[in-house]
Amino acid sequence: MGLPLEVITVTLLVALVIPFLHSLWRAFVEDLWLKPRRIRHVFERQGIKCLPYRFVIGNLPELTALSKEVQSQPLPSIKHDHCAYAIPYYYRWIHEYGDKFIFWQGAQARFFLTDPDDVKEVLCSRSTQISRLQRRPDMVNLVDNGLLQLEGEDWAFHRRTLNPGFLPDKLKKMVPIMAGCTMEMIEKWSSKEANEAKRHEIDVFTELKKLTADIIAHTAFGSSYAEAKQIFELQQEQLRLAKQIGSKPFIPGLRFIPTAFHRHCWKVEKKIEELTFEMIERRIHQRKLNQKDVHGDDLLGLMIDAMDNRALGLDKKLSMGIADIVGETKTFFMAGHETTATSISWTLMLLAAYPEWQERVRDEARTVCDASSVPAPGSLHRLKLLSMVLNESLRLYPPGALMTRIANKDIRVGKTLVPKGTVIVLPIIAFHHDERYWGPDANEFRPERFSEGASKASQSSSAVFLPFSTGPQFCIGQLFALQEAKVVIASILLRYRIMVSPRYRHSPINYTILQPQFGVPLLFESI
Ligand code: HEM
């Protein structure tokens, strides 16, 4: 005889309801209430002040209100002491609560490190007790399975696979591609120019975002650049969606409701995966047609080779799957496109604002570049003044203004016990502007401080110039980005004199990266 229906029903209900109640308990009671209480307790015992925590929203309302209040107007002029403008809440709270304090981004405790040696300790740590933040569960999937999210052995394998794509010889070969994309952009400008007055205005931030996407699509994905560009366009949409989600507090479970917004997020994500899959298939097909053993040595080729290891039955840890390639494709676009566009835009703005430096950099480019006025692969290292200007620009306007890590266990950083679950914020921008390390002219544009290289530029023995981070997870694209910036800036200066447009409004805000809120309109005059 079977079990009575009531017993089966009750058993099924218990089996479903208990895990459900348990996840509800974890989400609402543990994560949103007990964990913040414990973190607060640990910090307060050490004399560190905590801003009051409010259920779910934490200090998000104050943070948003402060940013809105300060950033509603641009800065009155191009001054470089903009930290209190770019991250107003940090400077307001440090003033109110002292050097060390905790605030709540939603239910997440955030702790700023103010000692560069503590920052170095965190960035150089190889321990699994400190890691990058995982995305919020309701956030769109921007960089999953890519270098920026992976940890441990998986991260090490991906980094080893992709490192050859950034070796100096490899980068040199990319110079003509970078120059070619830049020339295409400039040619479009000059055809427009024919119909306009002698001086014309261009928002370089908008233009450079298109250019850097074009360059990364060509260099990293070679013959597959057309598909890569399509994927990148969808990622722009994902970024827009991510900004919308990030401005709201996280409410567990909400993401499963098929609202129009959520369905749109799912559709975009699915399309990106389909396109990446097609791009890989096409590359594999090309190899079959060409009868070659390699898929090409661009980043996509390196990854498909690593995928072959899996097909050959090698250790899964030594191979990549489709999900990994999707992840890295997205990561390289996210990490390598807007950062570089922003950095070149800030540098052009500075060169426009300091015409004497612009002249010096142009003269240098004239002596270094070949007759066709395009930087040659072997000549970039001779652009010394431009390197100094780029470094000074990265110091004053570091795209990665704030970096973050999370404590996966209770850990000690310097003298502070940082409880599990705390987000550690590394205020790179604050170090870059600190008079204690750079002298009384810390907030002035003085590229000559980099004349003997980055390591001798500051007055501090600690690492206080960190635009590309440090430690094992430092930016893999550092040399790529600097090379690209040199090619683009030299090519522009050889053809145009640039001036700050009267419509430029100085407003650096930290929205994931330190961006010009109202773009960078500059006036261009042909030489
Ligand atoms: C001026 C331009 C750039 C700046 C300022 C910059 C800055 C940074 C910083 C600060 C990090 C460390 C982030 C962290 O640890 O939280 C990073 C990581 C990374 N960057 Fe860049 N980046 C730039 C350009 C690029 C380019 C052009 C690429 C690719 C072609 C790239 C690819 C990456 C990747 C993949 C990582 C993760 C590295 C790893 O974990 O192994 N970046 N970048």
pLDDT in tens, 289-325: 775 655 566 788 888 877 766 555 555 556 688 888 8
Tokens of 300: 């996509």
Q: Quick check: 485 pLDDT over 90?
A: yes
Tokens of 245: 């989600």
pLDDT at 320: 80
Q: Are 351 and 498 within 8 A, CB to CB?
A: yes
Tokens of 447: 């590229």
Which residue's alpha carbon is at the smallest distance from atom 20 of ligand 1?
475
State mean pLDDT over 368-391.
Answer: 88
Q: Point out the ligand 1 atom lying closest to the alpha carbon of residue 212.
A: 27
In angstroms, the CA 506 to CA 520 distance is: 8
Identity of the highest mean pLDDT range in 62-76, 163-177, 284-298, 359-373: 62-76
pLDDT at 228: 79
Output the CA angle 237-241-242, nearest 5 degrees: 115
Q: Quick check: 143 pLDDT over 80?
A: no
**Within 6 Å (CB) of ligand 1, which residues are found?**
132, 147-148, 159, 216, 331-332, 335-336, 339-340, 343, 399-400, 403, 467-469, 473, 475-477, 480-481
CA-to-CA dists, residue 520 to 187, 198, 288, 348, angstroms: 20, 19, 47, 9
Q: Output Rg (C-alpha) for the chain, integer angstroms.
A: 25
Mean pLDDT value across the chain: 88
The DSSP annotation for 403-426 comes to EEEEESS-EEETTEEE-TTPEEEE
Among the listed residues 288, 282, 273, 284, the one whose alpha carbon sits nearest the alpha carbon of residue 322: 273
Pocket perturbation via mutation, ligand 1, pick of 475, 478, 486 by most ligand atoms within 8 A of CB: 475
The ipTM of this complex is 0.99
The pTM of this model reads: 0.91
